[in-house]
Structure 1
Amino acid sequence: MKKHVVFPAVVLLTLALSTPAFNCTTTLTGKDASADGSVMVSHTDDGLGDPRVVFVPAMDHPEGALRPVFYESAAMGYLPEWGGSQTHRLVTDGRGPGYRNPDEPASVPLGFIPQVSHTFAYIDANYGIMNEHQVSIGECTDKAKVHPLPEPGKRIFYSAELSRVALERSTTAREAIAVMGRLIDTYGYYGTGETLLVADPNEGWVFEMAGYDLNGTDGVWVAQRVPDNGFFVAANQFRIREIREGADDMIFSANIFDAARTNGWWRPEDGPLDWARVYGDGEFHHPYYSLRRVWRAQSLVASSLDLPAWVDGPFTRSYPFAVVPDQKLSVQDVMAVHRDNYEGTEFDLTTGLAAGPFDNPNRFEGGAEATMDKQGRMTTLNGAFERPLNIYRCAYVYVNQSRSWLPDPIGGVSWIGLDRPATSVLLPFYAGGLGLPRSLEVADVLRVDRGSMWTAFNYVANYAMLKYSYMIKDIRAERGRFEARGFGGRHEVEARALALWQSGDEQGARRLLTEDSAAHADELLAAWWQLADHLYITYNDGYINTKETIAQPVFYPAWWLEAVGYQNGPQSYEKPATK
């Protein structure tokens, strides 16, 4: 049970800091900043790991029952001694059929906490998404000064399991924060620093946490309320700054000052404790890995602020905690932020030599940021590509809406897209429904499964990189068709569900929403595999192929040919002069 404790700490720390697998972006839109008065939380889960979205049903538990707390590979990388697999985060019979997998090792608990008599239904993935009471969560990983290892009896919680327990037990955002804070204080925290956005139909909060002692038995945390007219974004760096005692919009752990003093990170005479600077360690990977996304997201929704793209360091004050959007935001507006590749800016990833001849915005990362010399030795390569909001290694994206004017099972809707945002399609699913389509709950990155929604979208997105500027038009057309129907048909479907609810047929309302979402998902899955076939045939061998004419040549643009040396190709039988 404890053999992972002796795993070299430096190795795990290096793994946590170097892997890009969990570096996400998350936003929160207050009710007075949204177009319809909903509170919205969005999240991209940016890593090739377990892309499944799973429904965890409501459950009753006997008196004296214990809830297992499982290890999270999102915290420190996959460790086989804790069960599961590299492709499936949890294997257990205790959280509904979505997590049952008899063909893989069962997940091994790090520890247990007392169970409550009743737990609420929720939509789950690598982190909790939304529960049947419209409590909504988003996430991003942050670089803290200390990343403790898990250890039974000392540190058993990471943000992922914290988010799940919060959704199982909370009917408001404040309740969820209180639950997670108590769990950190009582059972300890391990892994990276974390930001969780927590919302309900009335308000939204930023909840940030970290370890501070490699051998400690608790952690530190702080929560700050997002103004109702505000838009907040976090991108792998703590965003809360000064800790203000007695403030109505801030809650924090009792040890937050003492832990900072004990570690020599802060003294009262230095002034207010700056959470991001004291407990954080700047950006992951390279400068602007986080800050560029914060700049771009805030600039997209509030261009009137004319925020600077270049700043003086990782703890800049140039970007506010939250901004007031120039116009109130819809789900589509928030999703447009996540689909962005810096188009139209000096950082535009769809232009230049690195984008290739067909404007491909995807930039593969090198892990250790090293390359081979001619003798095969690893050599450090200085430099970096810009890190966009839309990134190729995204497992799923969602925009949650919590709506106060509807009953919870109807008001809480999660617009979910599989794989990277730019080529995904948002479909509505309800945590207050009766379940999710099987196509969302099955996925394995090591197996092609035509019954898996993620596989279909990942397949198309990867194929599109061969001739991106052409194929993305086909993808957007199909995406637009499905999203127009999804958004356009919501009012009618939800009105029917509300009528059933008000007549006393609550189960009928839940069933209607569940079946409607499933029908849309089934149609989308079939259409996306058809799209894959269409792209393969239409752009086969680099041509454009139609019923009218096959093998229509599509040559490279002149600027790219010149840049890659096309003009130096053989044009005579004479050997070119050596330069």
Structure 2
Amino acid sequence: MNRPPVLLHALLAAALATAAATAQACTSIVVTRGASRDGSVMVTYSADAPFMPRLLRIAGGTHAPGTMVDVRGWEDNEDRGKIPQAERTYTVVGLVNEHQLSLGETTTGGRPELKNRKGQLDYDALMVLVLQRAKTAREAITLVDSLCREYGFGSSGETFSIADKNEAWIMELIGKGPDVKGIVWVAAKVPDGCITAHANLSRITTFPLNDPDNWLYSPDVVTFAIEKGYYKTDSGKPFNYRDAYHPSQSASVRRACAGRVWSIYRRSAPSQNFSDAYYRGAENVEDYPLFIKPDQQLGLHDVMGLMRDHFEGTPYDMTKGPDAGPYCSPMRLRDLAFKVDGKNYMWERPISTQQSGFVIVNQSRQNLPDAVGGLTWFTPDEASTSCFTPFYCAIDALPAPYTTGTYDKFSWESAWWVTNLVSNLTYDRWSRVYPDVQKAQADQEAALLKMQPVIEETAAKLAAADPALAQSFLTNYSVSTAEAVFRRWQDLAHSILTRNVDGYTKDANGHPKAAGYSEEWLRHVVESRPDQFKLPETKKPVETDH
């Protein structure tokens, strides 16, 4: 049946033109079946940029010969023309398709001279086309290569997370220069029982050239580097993808990028005592392993928690110290780098950051029908102050609050704006407000996770007997659940503002109490300006203005 394409898919929305420079900041985690508690293959993706994402959808279908499709990414909404449509495309919800193929990404930059600005495919448009046309991770890797050879790759270096219900891969790619179509690339299969993570820094170094079950690469990945002078055959060293195509490993790059990988690893495998040395820019120290085995298998909730990290429990805990302000906020205003008295400094760059446009956790599961096994847990804004909501890959409708709104105008009807309102009411008063947000988040997600096995058992039975009914069932559940989360977050915004007003926090009876400041913060203030706030000694009690 030839179905008209729905101009919808998760995360493809008009972005500000100014987002292009900052959208290259994302975090992705890959969890294999053997490393997950329920046998899921999981991929996370945090898109950290000031733009207005919408949860949208592309319907699959068959297409007549000669049909063309628009090439348009979500980052700058630039129209990149048209390419021939595939004869058969698959439905995409979030970054998961109907066959449970799942994608994530981070931009790694690499050698700027290798960017082909005339390439028709940005990384985001490329991801969408691949999800519409591939069934498995290996097919997706092959398709990334062939599409880039045919139409040209217009972005800088990228790392893709590519997973299906059986296996997971990490693929690194970069263009071949101005006006040159094609890419050089390498892809590594994540060993079952292991996890990996990438955060805007190339992760693949040396690799075997004779292990096609676990390593795939472009035929010219080495020879192209030799031709360009990026690799010397007489160096006595094996070919290293990152050294050739992503040579910058400066202290600031490590601080901004490697720290997120370190924090994922140290939380997933504390027994391995991963050093912070590489992240902190120490010389002559090794990077973190490409793959690690977690101490315990990770549950879905554990992975969500990793996406909420601010380095809590480490010396770099962003809720501690004078930079956290009087109410222990992990928010640091951009830019990351700054100067004081001519010296260079840099804030920590956490996984959970206020400029996130959306965060997803995708699940692909072998033990369930595709319509049930593939889903994306989606939240607009950042993960630490919001609630993940499930959207199954088979659904044929979406909740209005997740598809409406514009970046330039607040709306009570937009999930992105309401979630951002809760976040922004929390940031400056974190220690006072965040416990209420965390409770709402924990209660809501616990209820959803408790319901998930029941919903999926029912949906699996329906899928075997009546696929259309299963689709309707999962659509109704996904839509109603998202609408309930949206309403709760509207109520939470009302509650936060009502309870915390004019510097007071109301108690259980509605009586306003002065919030004050912690002694630690007051000590910082006094030490910075000891004479300004000091009162003269007096024998008479000092009256204060209440």
TM-score, normalisation: structure 2: 0.89
Note the alpha carbon deviations across 1:162-220, whole angstroms, 9 max, x for none: 11111101111111111111112222212221111000010000111112323422221
Q: What displacement does 1:452 show? A: 1.3
Note the alpha carbon deviations across 1:502-525, whole angstroms, 9 max, x for none: 21x101101111111111111111
Give the match's secondary structure for 2:222: helix
Q: Report the counterpart of residue 108 of structure 1 in structure 2.
A: 79
Give the match's secondary structure for 1:395: strand
- 1:399/1:237 Cα in 2 relative to 1: closer, same or farther (>3 Å)? same
Among candidates 324, 340, 346, match of residue 355 of structure 1 = 324
Q: What displacement does 1:47 show? A: 1.0
Give the match's secondary structure for 2:144: helix
Q: What displacement does 1:466 show? A: 2.6
Among candidates 506, 509, 532, match of residue 545 of structure 1 = 506
Instruction: Output the CA distance in 2 between the equivalents of 1:113 and 1:465.
Output: 44
- 1:316/1:68 Cα in 2 relative to 1: closer, same or farther (>3 Å)? farther
Instruction: Output the CA distance in 2 between the equivalents of 1:344 and 1:151.
Output: 43
Q: State whether structure 2 residue 438 is matched by structure 1 residue 468.
A: no
Any conservation in 1 of the 2:357–2:380 contact (CA below 8 Å)?
yes
**Equivalent AA in structure 1 for residue 79 of structure 2:** V
Aligned residues with identical type, % of pairs = 29
Q: Which runs of 5+ in 2 are unaligned?
A: 1-17, 539-546
Instruction: Output the CA distance in 2 between the equivalents of 1:490 and 1:315.
Output: 47
Any conservation in 2 of the 1:135–1:170 contact (CA below 8 Å)?
yes
RMSD: 2.3
Q: Report the counterpart of residue 556 of structure 1 in structure 2.
A: 517
Q: Report the counterpart of residue 306 of structure 2 in structure 1.
A: 337
Q: What displacement does 1:347 show? A: 0.5
**Equivalent AA in structure 1 for residue 317 of structure 2:** D
How many residues align? The count is 513
Among candidates 81, 89, 95, match of residue 119 of structure 1 = 89
Q: What displacement does 1:470 show? A: 1.5
Instruction: Output the CA distance in 1 between the equivalents of 2:132 and 2:113.
Output: 26
Q: What displacement does 1:573 show? A: 12
Q: What displacement does 1:433 show? A: 1.5
* Farther off after superposition, 281-290 or 447-456: 281-290
Among candidates 231, 239, 243, match of residue 266 of structure 1 = 231
Instruction: Output the CA distance in 1 between the equivalents of 2:523 and 2:378.
Output: 42
Any conservation in 1 of the 2:116–2:179 contact (CA below 8 Å)?
no
Any conservation in 1 of the 2:504–2:512 contact (CA below 8 Å)?
yes
Instruction: Output the CA distance in 2 between the equivalents of 1:263 and 1:148.
Output: 10
Q: What displacement does 1:253 show? A: 1.2
5 Å-filtered alignment, 1:71-470, equals 72=73, 74=75, 78=76, 89=77, 108-110=79-81, 112-124=82-94, 129-146=95-112, 151-152=117-118, 155-247=119-211, 248-270=213-235, 271-282=237-248, 286-311=253-278, 317-366=286-335, 369=338, 382-470=344-432
Q: Report the counterpart of residue 508 of structure 1 in structure 2.
A: 469
Note the alpha carbon deviations across 1:244-266, whole angstroms, 9 max, x for none: 21212111112212221121110
Give the match's secondary structure for 2:185: strand
Q: State whether structure 2 residue 61 is matched by structure 1 residue 59.
A: yes
Q: What displacement does 1:282 show? A: 3.1
Q: Report the counterpart of residue 48 of structure 1 in structure 2.
A: 50
Instruction: Output the CA distance in 2 between the equivalents of 1:367 and 1:385.
Output: 5
- 1:443/1:281 Cα in 2 relative to 1: closer, same or farther (>3 Å)? farther
- 1:459/1:148 Cα in 2 relative to 1: closer, same or farther (>3 Å)? farther
Q: Which runs of 5+ in 1 are unaligned?
A: 1-14, 79-88, 90-106, 372-378, 575-579
Q: What displacement does 1:369 show? A: 3.9
Give the match's secondary structure for 2:93: strand
Q: What displacement does 1:296 show? A: 0.9
- 1:298/1:344 Cα in 2 relative to 1: closer, same or farther (>3 Å)? same
Instruction: Output the CA distance in 2 between the equivalents of 1:327 and 1:34.
Output: 9
* Farther off after superposition, 50-59 or 202-211: 50-59
Among candidates 514, 527, 533, match of residue 488 of structure 2 = 527
Instruction: Output the CA distance in 1 between the equivalents of 2:361 and 2:284.
Output: 28
Q: Report the counterpart of residue 486 of structure 1 in structure 2.
A: 448
